[in-house]
Amino acid sequence: MGMQNVPVLIVGGGPVGLALAGELGWRGVPCLLVEQGDGTIVTPKMNEVNVRTMEFCRRWGIADRVHNCPFPRDHARDAVFVTSLGGYELGRIPRPAVAGVKPEPWSPMRLQTCSQMWFDPILRDFALSSPGVDLRYRTRLESFEDTGDGVTAEIVDLESGRRERVEAAYLVGCDGATSAIREKLGIGLKGQGVLGHPLHLFFRAPDLLKRVGKAEGTFFLAIDRDGLWANIRIVDPVNAMWRLMVLDSDGRQTPESIDKDALIRRAVGRPFEVEWVGCSIWTRRSLVAEQYGKGRVFLAGDAVHQLSPTGALGMNTGIGDVVDLGWKLAAVAQGWGGAKLLSSYDRERQPIGVRAIDNTAGFHLSHGNFHSGFAAIEDDSDEGRALRAYVGPQLVRQVGAMFRTIGLQLGYCYEESPIIVPDGTPPTPDDPENFIATTRPGSRAPHVALKDGSSTLDFYGPGFVLVRLGADAPDGAAIAEAAKSRGVPLRTVTVDEPEAAATYERKLVLVRPDGHVAWRGDAVPADALAMMDRVRGA
Ligand SMILES: Cc1cc2nc3c(=O)[nH]c(=O)nc-3n(C[C@H](O)[C@H](O)[C@H](O)COP(=O)(O)OP(=O)(O)OC[C@H]3O[C@@H](n4cnc5c(N)ncnc54)[C@H](O)[C@@H]3O)c2cc1C
């Protein structure tokens, strides 16, 4: 048996494990990622890379690749409520093409439609661009032991059968919803549990929208006389690849038993020829782990939160997990992270997992208001017309809420964190639909477009940043000294622009490597060293 020594062993090469490998490599921390599959994605799940994840992509230097993914930049992304694709249109939520989206005040980035079949390889290439990242496909974690001062693991190369022993300082399980690592740690899941058994059917249908006479859009939700039952999404417009999702089934279907032609007939409103590509049956769950790790083993992504995809928060929340964990692992590896830094990962991210499952389950449950009472919805009658006129706006308002989530994407705050210095201000309202920019400690440090065309977000990443707002702000030298004496990487930047001063609310704002505010004030704290020790988890 071979033997390998590495600071961090990552198990699972889905988007979350790949993002962690990339983040660690970017921070100069060597890691080994093992993935039992070969990286091929046959039936992609994720399609929406949200604004916060795009901000991380910007930091990592891969945003252009995501923007230039094969999803056409000029393709409208409207969400449309229909009785069927060929039937009546009841409501439309405009979601312009990427090329047509103007920058919003809250971010230099915008939500990007980019199927997992393109996004995962971008993350993989990003990870592999760091020499310290060793990525092995067709390699499985067989067992592990936390020995107190490290983790010993056994991995197997599934092609050759060769076994290897890995000694790592830390293990991170990004091994998905059925995480054997979480299981072995004995960490339970809590939440509403199973919400349904959707079916995914992938098919090719060139010019589908033209043939049914519908204006361009990306996501079509179908409500017929039996209620809201499916959505039909274009995954890859260039290759005319679509996905029909049947929202629920009896849980007993198999790929062979599904009557695909009947379902496509119902979705289009008439018999329709398509080329079938694949199908998958999955379980919609709403669960979060009670703990995000134990000892030297951490968990991230679907291993700790399984969300209804309504709201597109699954992977995006997982990437938020590893951005939080990544700088902390790096700080400890580089010797400046304190003894309590890594345990703050659970305290910061677990409440965000709870927030994500609660909101996405809520979005899913709103579909339940549209299950019955629609016998006339497809009728060419006064009753049918009246029903459609009434239901359309209701659908847009209620079910459409899952497309209005900027507050959810950007407005999360590490309220319970032991490594944030609270300033006694009341919590900012957590409104899923609206984002309120603030530097209240624990929040994402806000974006302000600067005169030179850059964003304040461009300051953040490698180390701590002390932002001085205005030329007359205190020089912050005591904070810089405190950082230096503890080996904490910190740089001071001065922003002398009125909009930044207004948005940043204080004269001094200390921002962590993940871009969250650690401390703020109008004067240097009396004990800058104590403050520095707190924010580095000492
Ligand atoms: C229909 C649908 C649509 C979605 N849309 C979105 C969306 O638009 N936006 C969004 O953010 N999220 C979305 N999601 C959720 C998103 O797909 C998941 O949250 C995301 O894929 C989870 O990534 P992960 O890396 O944590 O886990 P996974 O993708 O499940 O990866 C885990 C990996 O671990 C590997 N593994 C497991 N055990 C071992 C072992 N012992 N050794 C080696 N490897 C192992 C597995 O092979 C697997 O590749 C959607 C989900 C669904 C079902």
What residue owns the CA closest to ligand 1's atom 33? 12
pLDDT of residue 115 exceeding 80: yes
Tell me how far the alpha carbon of residue 398 lies from the centroid of ligand 1, in angstroms: 27
What gap in Å lies between CA 74 and CA 410, rounded to an integer?
25
| 57/62 Cα distance (integer angstroms) | 5
* 321 CB within 6 A, ligand 1: no
Ranges of beta strands (E only) in 237-336 are: 241-246, 275-281, 284-289, 293-294, 297-299, 305-306
User: Looking at residue 103, what is its pLDDT?
Assistant: 80
Closest by alpha carbon to 175, among 21, 16, 7? 16
- Mean pLDDT computed over 324-328: 98
Distance between CA atoms of residues 395 and 80, nearest Å: 10
Helix (H) or strand (E) holding 241: strand 241-246
The answer to whether the CB of 318 is under 6 A from ligand 1 is yes
Alpha-carbon span 373 to 393, nearest angstrom: 16
Q: Quick one: pLDDT band at residue 101, thresholds 50, 70, 90?
A: confident
CB of 244 within 6 A of ligand 1: the answer is no
Task: Tell me if 320 CB under 6 Å of ligand 1.
Answer: no
3-state secondary structure of 380: coil
Binding site membership of 36 for ligand 1 (Cβ less than 6 Å)? yes
The per-residue pLDDT for 93 is 97
Residue of 23, 36, 69, 359 with the most ligand 1 atoms within 8 Å of its CB, for mutation: 36
Spatial distance between the Cα atoms of 379 and 88, rounded to a whole number of angstroms: 10
What is the Cα–Cα distance from 114 to 126, expressed in whole angstroms?
Answer: 16
Q: In what order do the strands lie in the sheet with 189-196?
A: 189-196, 284-289, 305-306
Nearest residue CA, atom 5 of ligand 1? Answer: 46
Report whether 174 contacts 15 (CB < 8 A).
Answer: no
For the CA of 313, the closest atom of ligand 1 is 11
Distance 176 CA to ligand 1 centre (A): 5
CA-wise closest residue to 72 among 221, 218, 244: 218
- The CA R_g of the chain, rounded to the nearest whole Å, is 24
Of the chain, the end-to-end C-alpha distance in Å amounts to: 39
pLDDT at 251 over 90: no
Nearest CA to ligand 1 atom 30: 176
pLDDT for position 102: 82
Three-state secondary-structure class, residue 353: helix
Residue 448 Cα to ligand 1 middle (Å):
33
pLDDT for 43 = 83
**Token pair belonging to 118:** 């393109």
Residue 311 near ligand 1, beta carbon < 6 Å = no
The number of helices, as runs of H, and strands, as runs of E, in the chain is 14, 24
Q: What is the pLDDT of residue 505?
A: 98
Residues 6+ apart with CB under 8 A from 463: 488, 489, 490, 491, 513
Ligand 1 centroid distance, CA of 256 (Å)? 24
Best mutation site among 33, 36, 45 for ligand 1 pocket (most ligand atoms within 8 Å of CB)? 45
Q: Are strands 112-113 and 2-11 parallel, antiparallel or unpaired?
A: unpaired
Cα 165 to middle of ligand 1, angstroms: 26
Locate tokens 């503890």: which residue?
A: 486
Q: What percent of the chain has pLDDT over 90?
A: 95
* Residue 47 CB less than 6 A away from ligand 1: yes
At position 236, the amino acid (one-letter code) is: D
Other beta carbons less than 10 A from residue 33's beta carbon? 29
Structure tokens at 537: 């988890």
Where do we find the tokens 């549209």?
370
The residue whose CB lies within 8 Å of the most ligand 1 atoms, and thus the one to mutate among 281, 287, 302, 349, is 302
* pLDDT per residue as tens digits for the range 279-324: 989 999 999 999 999 999 999 999 999 999 999 999 999 999 999 9
Asked if residue 409 lies in contact with residue 52, where contact means CB atoms within 8 angstroms, the answer is yes
Q: What is the pLDDT of residue 419?
A: 98
Ligand 1 center–CA 507 separation, angstroms: 42
- Confidence grade of residue 95 (pLDDT, cut at 50, 70, 90): very high
Helix axes 51-60, 314-333, angle to 10 degrees: 40
pLDDT in tens, 369-404: 999 999 999 999 999 999 999 999 999 999 999 999
**Shortest-distance Cα residue to atom 52 of ligand 1:** 45
The answer, yes or no, to whether any atom of ligand 1 lies below 6 A from the CB of 174, is yes
Compute the distance from residue 281 Cα to the ligand 1 centre, in Å.
Answer: 14
Q: Are strands 89-93 and 112-113 parallel, antiparallel or unpaired?
A: unpaired
Q: What is the mean pLDDT of residues 184-188?
A: 98
Render pLDDT for 196-246 as a digit per residue (tens, 0 to 9): 999 999 999 999 999 999 999 999 999 999 999 999 999 999 999 999 999
19 touches ligand 1 (CB under 6 Å) = no
pLDDT greater than 90 at residue 3:
no
Q: Which residues of 281-309 are buried (b: 16+ CB within 10 A; e: fewer)?
A: beebbbbbbeebbbebbbbbbbbbbbbbb
Contacts of 523 (CB under 8 A, 6+ apart): 474, 507, 508
With a 6 Å cutoff on the Cβ, whether 13 touches ligand 1 is yes
- How many whole angstroms from 388 Cα to the centroid of ligand 1? 37
330-348 burial, b if ≥16 CB within 10 A, otherwise e?
A: bbbbeebbbeebbbbbbbb
How far, CA to CA in Å, does 420 sit from each of 312, 366, 409, 466?
28, 36, 20, 14
- The answer, yes or no, to whether any atom of ligand 1 lies below 6 A from the CB of 312, is yes
Name residue 360's amino acid.
T
Strand partners of residue 280:
200
Torsion over CA: 188, 189, 191, 195 (sign)? negative
Distance of alpha carbon 61 from alpha carbon 49, whole angstroms? 15
Q: Which residue has the higher pLDDT, 252 or 353?
A: 353
Pocket test for ligand 1, best of 34, 46, 243 (most atoms within 8 A of CB): 46
Per-residue confidence at 4, pLDDT binned at 50, 70, 90?
Answer: confident
Say how far apart CA 80 and CA 475 lie, in whole Å.
53
Q: Candidates 119, 281, 315, 325: which one to mutate for ligand 1, based on the most atoms within 8 Å of Cβ?
A: 315
pLDDT for 501-525, tens place per residue?
A: 999 999 999 999 999 999 999 999 9
**Which of 10, 34, 35 has the most ligand 1 atoms within 8 A of CB, as the residue to mutate?**
35
The atom number, within ligand 1, closest to the CA of 198 reads 1
Percent of the chain with pLDDT over 70: 100
Give, using CA atoms, the residue closest to atom 50 of ligand 1: 46
- Other Cβ atoms less than 10 A from the Cβ of 520: the count is 24
- When the pLDDT of each residue in the chain is averaged and rounded to a whole number, the result is 97
Residue type, 220: F
Residue 363 has pLDDT above 80, yes or no: yes
Helical axes 15-26 vs 51-60, angle rounded to 10°: 40
Q: Is 309 in the pocket of ligand 1 (CB under 6 A)?
A: yes
